[in-house]
Amino acid sequence: MNTPSLGSSEAAALAEEGPSKGTGTMRRMTRIAGSLALLLAALAGAAGAQDAQGTLDVRLSANGEPAAGTVTIFPSAGGPAAYDGPANAPAALPHGVYDVKATLTDAIDHPTRSRGGIELTAGDDRTIHIDFQVGRVTLLCRKNGTALDAEISLRRPGSSTWLPAVHCGVPFLVSGGTYEADITPLDSTTGTPAGTLQIMAGTTQRLALDL
């Protein structure tokens, strides 16, 4: 049986179509392969950047007890802060050497402490502890021998700035030293000088104030 032969125009069309389809498929595969390569490179770069970081956790305490505060972390070589936020939480940082400034917000005068030259290597999870030795004070207020419900304001001698007011009978933290005291009864808007207080760092004190 004789097989019908293709005409010259049909054979030419098939010959053209075959290579064209193959070329298109190869181009699509090449584009896909290129996109995958870029994606893998991006993922590898992100993983490398993460591996180049470490964490620094600055833990604060007052007289050895955990306390709240804030931390600012600067590169020792200079430049803007790498972290500025709550203490007692890990901060992700590039590897390098850092200086730390900690503020004890649990104390009414917000004392600060600094620590320098803290080296952080890639992949390192480092914790440092900064302790504040402060006075834990309860002020007992009286008027004519009777307990008085009042607020007390403190300031350093010679200073014009009063610290945030505290309440009689309620413990608070403050740096050690000499303070001037001013008592304002809760039923009054006028404060009365109440002499000076000597507060000892690292101790617990109950001090009497008479109006």
pLDDT, tens digit (0-9, with 9 covering 90-100), for 100-138: 999 999 999 999 999 999 999 999 999 999 999 999 999
Phi-psi region of 126 (alpha: psi -120 to 50; beta: other; left: phi over 0): beta
The tens digit of pLDDT for each residue in 42-81 reads 444 444 444 579 999 999 999 999 999 999 999 999 999 9
Q: Find the mean pLDDT for residues 160-172.
A: 97
The tens digit of pLDDT for each residue in 6-19 reads 455 554 444 455 55
The CATH architecture annotation of domain 135-210 reads: Sandwich (2.60)
At residue 35, does pLDDT exceed 80? Answer: no
| DSSP character string of 77-144 | T--S-SEEEESSSEEEEESEEEEEEEEETTBTT--EEEEEEEEE-TT-EEEEEEEE--EEEEEEEEET
Specify the CATH class of 53-132 in words. mainly beta
Ordered by start, the domain boundaries in the chain are 1-51, 53-132, 135-210
